Structure 1
Amino acid sequence: MGKSRLTLYIFIALILGILTGWFFPESGLKLHALADAFLRMVKMIIAPLLFSTLVVGIAGHGNIKQLGKIGVKTIIYFEIVTTIALFIGLFAGNYFKPGEGFTVDFASAESMKSLANMQHMHVSTSLTDTLVHMFPTSVIEAMSKGDILQVVVFSVFFAIAICAVGDKAKPVLNMLDSLSKIMFKFTEYVMLFAPIGVFGAMAYTISLNGLDILLVYAKLIVVLYGALILFLAIVLFAVCRICNIPMLALIKAIQEPALIAFSTATSEAALPKAMEQMEKFGVPKNIVGFVMPTGYTFNLDGSTLYLSLAVLFSAQVVGLDLTLEQQIMMMLTLMLTSKGIAGVPRVSLVVLIAALSSFNIPVIGVAILLGIDQILDMGRTTVNLVGNCVATTVIAKWENMFDYEKMNEYIDSNKVEKKSFVKEIVHSEPSYPSGYADDNQENFESITK
């Protein structure tokens, strides 16, 4: 099933769920089992997916060591910008509270059982207790319980050990790379059941709470896109100021791949054009070739901003407040678990459920987000792409490798194209689609192409 068709089915399921919950509330109350079953399917993916992708993402970049300081600077930049994105997401969630005032009562037996299972994972009340709890006594137990913080810590140490062993560890790394690909494909299969989960969740939610949830959707979309725009404005302004680059020229260079990313909600469709544009703009090919692919593992600004906002939203709609310590730990968790999630539709849903499980938030609330995930995905995918395009400029400038002459040529060429196009229109003879003269046909066709 194609992504566009699945998206259509999800929207249809969303509408059918709303209608069922509104016109047949008694039947809608019985459909929560569909959402519960879907979310259980997603939860079974979490541990193997995060373990394999984190290890491959960290240990699989042997070229970072080869590139030396460029690799180190790139990772430092990625983490700084990702942290800014997380802070903006947390600020938007805490200040605007998009889920407040609308409490979802997921009081089904399965939901309460799931919540009870999550609450025994860790009952830490202080930052110190949580830090101690991060280190597992048994990774098998951590995976079986779904304790993502412990899985992440084990994965990081495992990846470091693979790097230290070197060539002898390549078979293990290759195996985990294969496992990650299998789990991504597995995720795609599970997401085929998303329309069923959305239908059940929406029917149940509307049966309990009425149509007020539509206002919640609208508020969340506005808050997310506002936060994404704020992030882009801050990053673009800072980069252009530090690198001495005209902001409009940089926006011009990345606008085409950004539009592709927005319209398709897919990073891969826009990546080749983005790399081509950044080379034309003055970034050396070796910088583009390293930073852009690495960025899709370590620098998913739009996704991390969305995840921090989505965790707070999910907590608010079930009437929970996260403390400052919990939000700090959530930031640290998302900084690791959000790595390498680009490319697979709705895989951010898996990471979101993992984060919610770590903080004892009922995961069934995620079903509310799934109904509008396509709209949210368009924005976060675009910011992921733009963030990585900007990163290539920063690293090139950082290494004194940015080609300002090439940038000026790119700016001038765009000005020349614009001037010649305007001149052609101004000096062409008037022509009309119906009955224009044969000698003016060539001018008309050249203008309207």
Structure 2
Amino acid sequence: MNTSSSAPAAPAPSRNPLRALARIPFGWQVLIGLALGVALGLVAASIGPVPGAGEDGGDGPNWLTTTLQTIGGTFVTLLKALVPPLIFLAIVTSIANLRQVTNAARLAWKTLLWFAITSLIAVVIGIGLGAVTGPGHRTGVDASAAQASSTQGGWLDFLTGLVPANFLGITGSAGDDGSVSLSFNALQILVISIAVGVAVLSIGEKAEPFLRFTSSALEIVQKLLWWVIRLAPIGTVGLLGNAVASYGWDAIGQLGVFVADVYIGMLLVLLVVYPVLLKANGLSIGSFFRGVWPATSLGFVSRSSLGTMPMTQTVTERMGVPRHYASFAVPLGATTKMDGCAAIYPALAAIFVANFYGVQLGVTDYLLIVLVSVLGSAATAGMTGATVMLTLTLSTLGLPLEGVGLLLAIDPILDMGRTALNVTGQSLVPVIVAKREKILDRARYDATRRTSFSAIQEEQEAARAEAREDSAERVPA
């Protein structure tokens, strides 16, 4: 009898689905989120509204639409919660970093000049497309959809918004049910941050303990923001799914010419204007787009220039822009450089509203659109992005503010493209200025390769460690 026995086979290793999901590249996770969001949105739209589920007793959203809305809203809320400390800490730290630069004032005004140049080109493209295609003449939107936006902007709002109501730039409002909601004014936080940063420069060595605190706090906020960014694929499912479920493709069909104009205009700026500017300055087009891609794609899914700011700064530094300049130019651009929200979109939207209401625009009106778009970009930092910029443009031209309501249905879909263009431009200008000022690391720029989000995170952590070492070396013994 054979007494030998074979050893029992080892059990197969258990498969952890969460671990398997984590191994999927972040870019693919986002694309999966986009596809899943569209699919779930179409399913939610096919289910239809629930009779009597609305707050006024009318039709209300079904369970799937509510779920998608909650997921997307939670993601946006998490991003917004980190924006106030991010603006303050990033601006103060970036201004303090200018101590290392001998030509800081020259870099600052050249950055602002190139912001204005690219915005001017973008708004001219928007006006040209609007003049050729005439959006608003043949739309299927009912005039009953017109309503004034609850969030409006005007030049008086912009000027008064420059004066901080308090040191934190936070305001509160009471609801009809007695609840109190808090909101922040990014423009006021920007003003406070600049003032504090200049004060830090004036004080000198005595401000070192405060700078060490702000640098440490900035690292913490950026780490929290990265954790939120990792949720972008899930947030994309909710944001895009809710947009499809709530508005469907009907809204896009009714405003087809306008939607096409906005995206064609953004693509012209992204794929024609930016490459021409890069080539004119002797820079490789492929190196730039390979380097900026992580920020561009993240801006598309997050719909937040400020939320994408740490990523934008990291990819800008990866392309050879010195950290002391990138840490100043990118935060400034995240609050004032908006080729999508503040140039192409308001120009086309103003033409759309004018055509819809039968108002003839003259040469003076088009010049006003250019002026508002180039000079009024900072107003978008104070309130609600493109909606405020649109109401600012309409009020300047004397067009009905009710026209904003005509475009609200498609705003989430347009906002993705606008933000992607915004963050790309916010990286482009520092690269061009650094090249013209001969501070760009050309070897590093030319060697730029497309990379993953995980590699970006590792580089962010390495950059923070290096910044800590630099800060420690500056501390007097």
Could you state the TM-score of these two structures normalised by the residue count of structure 1?
0.57
Asked whether the equivalents of residues 312 and 426 of structure 2 are also in contact (C-alpha less than 8 Å), the reply is no
Matched, 1:67 2:119: no
Asked whether the equivalents of residues 300 and 342 of structure 1 are also in contact (C-alpha less than 8 Å), the reply is no
Residue in 2 that maps onto 1:362: 400
Matched, 1:249 2:255: no
Of 404-413 and 328-337, deviating more is 404-413
Question: Which runs of structure 2 are paired with 1:95-110 in the superposition (5 Å)?
Answer: 95-102=132-139, 106=143
Asked whether the equivalents of residues 171 and 185 of structure 2 are also in contact (C-alpha less than 8 Å), the reply is no
- Closer, same or farther in 2 for the Cα pair 1:335/1:240, shift >3 Å? closer
Asked whether the equivalents of residues 300 and 384 of structure 1 are also in contact (C-alpha less than 8 Å), the reply is yes
| Greater fraction of residues in helix | 1
TM-fit CA distance, 1:295: 1.0
Question: Which runs of structure 2 are paired with 1:174-323 in the superposition (5 Å)?
Answer: 175=165, 178-179=168-169, 185=183, 214-303=252-341, 304-323=343-362
Residue in 1 that maps onto 2:121: 84
Asked whether the equivalents of residues 93 and 309 of structure 1 are also in contact (C-alpha less than 8 Å), the reply is yes
Residue in 2 that maps onto 1:379: 417
3-state DSSP of counterpart to 1:185: strand
Asked whether the equivalents of residues 261 and 378 of structure 1 are also in contact (C-alpha less than 8 Å), the reply is yes
Query: Partner letter of residue 288 of structure 2?
Result: L
TM-fit CA distance, 1:98: 1.9
Question: Structure 1 stretches of 5 or more lacking a match?
Answer: 21-27, 29-55, 115-145, 160-171, 189-198, 204-210, 418-449
- Closer, same or farther in 2 for the Cα pair 1:340/1:305, shift >3 Å? same
Asked whether the equivalents of residues 149 and 333 of structure 1 are also in contact (C-alpha less than 8 Å), the reply is no
Question: Which runs of structure 2 are paired with 1:103-122 in the superposition (5 Å)?
Answer: 106=143
Asked whether the equivalents of residues 104 and 318 of structure 1 are also in contact (C-alpha less than 8 Å), the reply is no
Residue in 1 that maps onto 2:366: 327
TM-fit CA distance, 1:77: 0.9
Asked whether the equivalents of residues 341 and 347 of structure 1 are also in contact (C-alpha less than 8 Å), the reply is yes
TM-fit CA distance, 1:263: 1.4
Matched, 1:148 2:154: yes
CA offsets 1:362-404 (integer angstroms, 9 cap, x no match): 2222112111111100001000000011111111112100101
TM-fit CA distance, 1:343: 9.2
Of 395-404 and 356-365, deviating more is 356-365
- Closer, same or farther in 2 for the Cα pair 1:335/1:243, shift >3 Å? closer
| Alpha-carbon separation, structure 2, partners of 1:220 and 1:411 | 36
| Alpha-carbon separation, structure 1, partners of 2:132 and 2:166 | 41
- Closer, same or farther in 2 for the Cα pair 1:95/1:180, shift >3 Å? farther
- Closer, same or farther in 2 for the Cα pair 1:178/1:268, shift >3 Å? same
3-state DSSP of counterpart to 1:372: helix
Asked whether the equivalents of residues 320 and 444 of structure 2 are also in contact (C-alpha less than 8 Å), the reply is yes
- Closer, same or farther in 2 for the Cα pair 1:340/1:357, shift >3 Å? closer
- Percent of pairs with identical residues: 23
Asked whether the equivalents of residues 122 and 344 of structure 2 are also in contact (C-alpha less than 8 Å), the reply is yes
Matched, 1:94 2:131: yes
3-state DSSP of counterpart to 2:136: coil
Asked whether the equivalents of residues 296 and 340 of structure 1 are also in contact (C-alpha less than 8 Å), the reply is no
Question: Structure 2 stretches of 5 or more lacking a match?
Answer: 1-33, 51-57, 59-87, 174-181, 187-242, 456-477
| Alpha-carbon separation, structure 2, partners of 1:84 and 1:301 | 9
CA offsets 1:134-163 (integer angstroms, 9 cap, x no match): xxxxxxxxxxxx9934665xx3xx99xxxx
3-state DSSP of counterpart to 2:438: coil
- Closer, same or farther in 2 for the Cα pair 1:232/1:327, shift >3 Å? same
Residue in 2 that maps onto 1:194: none
TM-fit CA distance, 1:220: 1.7
Asked whether the equivalents of residues 291 and 449 of structure 2 are also in contact (C-alpha less than 8 Å), the reply is no
| Alpha-carbon separation, structure 2, partners of 1:149 and 1:378 | 27
The alignment yields a C-alpha RMSD, in angstroms, of: 4.6
Query: Partner letter of residue 67 of structure 1?
Result: A
| Alpha-carbon separation, structure 1, partners of 2:254 and 2:410 | 11
| Alpha-carbon separation, structure 2, partners of 1:371 and 1:290 | 36
TM-fit CA distance, 1:323: 1.3
3-state DSSP of counterpart to 1:378: helix
Query: Partner letter of residue 380 of structure 2?
Result: I
Asked whether the equivalents of residues 106 and 364 of structure 1 are also in contact (C-alpha less than 8 Å), the reply is no
Residue in 2 that maps onto 1:126: none
**Which of 379, 383, 399 matches 2:437?**
399
| Alpha-carbon separation, structure 2, partners of 1:102 and 1:219 | 8
| Alpha-carbon separation, structure 2, partners of 1:227 and 1:70 | 29
Query: Partner letter of residue 287 of structure 1?
Result: Y
CA offsets 1:166-205 (integer angstroms, 9 cap, x no match): xxxxxx95546644766992799xxxxxxxxxx9xx99xx
Residue in 2 that maps onto 1:388: 426
| Alpha-carbon separation, structure 2, partners of 1:187 and 1:314 | 28
